[in-house]
Amino acid sequence: MASLADLIEAYIQRLVEAGEGVAEIQRTLLAERFRCAPSQISYVISSRFSPERGYIIESRRGGGGYIRLIRVELEDEDLQEMMSQVGSYLSQSEAYDYLERLFDEGFMDEKTFQVMRAATSRKALTLVLPDRDMIRANVFKAMLNAYFATRQRSEES
């Protein structure tokens, strides 16, 4: 049986398609339309439109707030797999290996390679160990998404 979350997912999906990969929603409004708690919308977004599933989420609070979803298509299967392989924790050496591979295989330019290395280095992430690997995983995935999203957008124009 389709749950409410499924219905909301389908609705947002249509919005994204209509917007050619970009949808802007207002949480409160959507919640009213589906007669549910606003946090239900948050739940759908975090469980169905996460970075792992290839979406970038931007938002703003306060008056005139919004949530913007941007779909990222990783045209290459390997990239897609890499994104899903990176779990909740990522060590420095794993991150460096991934980056090395992306750079060597020509998926990534040198500047981005160096920037991402710096961002995932132990020196930048001065945290104790379970936390450090968790933040590194988040940062890594967010950067990768952003990088390939931008590549897509600038290739379009």
Partner DNA sequence: GAAATGAAGGTCAAGGAAAGACAAAGGCAA
Partner DNA sequence: TTGCCTTTGTCTTTCCTTGACCTTCATTTC
Q: Do 143 and 119 touch, CB atoms closer than 8 A? A: yes
- Size (the chain), residues: 157
- Among 141, 14, 108, residue whose Cα is nearest residue 69: 14
Choosing among DNA, its own copies, none, which partner's interface includes residue 43 (Cβ < 5 to 8 Å by kind)? DNA
Residue 114 lies near its own copies (rule: CB under 8 A): yes
Residue 63 lies near its own copies (rule: CB under 8 A): yes
Choosing among DNA, its own copies, none, which partner's interface includes residue 27 (Cβ < 5 to 8 Å by kind)? DNA
Show contacts with its own copies in window 33-62 (CB under 8 A).
Answer: 56-57, 62
Q: Do 90 and 137 touch, CB atoms closer than 8 A? A: yes
Nearer to DNA, 18 or 29 (CB): 29
DSSP run (H or E) holding 24? strand 22-25
The stretch near DNA (CB under 7 A) out of 54-62, 75-83, 108-116, 143-151 is 54-62
CA distance 90 to 55: 20
Instruction: Tell me which of 77, 126, 129, 155 binds its own copies, using CB under 8 A.
Output: 126
Alpha helices in the chain, H assignment, sequence order: 4-18, 27-33, 38-48, 77-85, 92-104, 110-119, 129-156
Q: CB 114 → DNA: shortest distance, Å? A: 18
Q: Which amino acid is at 90?
A: L
Q: CB 43 → its own copies: shortest distance, Å? A: 12
Residue 28 lies near DNA (rule: CB under 7 A): yes
Nearer to its own copies, 12 or 99 (CB): 99
Between the alpha carbon of residue 114 and those of residues 11, 74, 122, the distances in Å are: 40, 21, 14
Q: CB 17 → its own copies: shortest distance, Å? A: 21
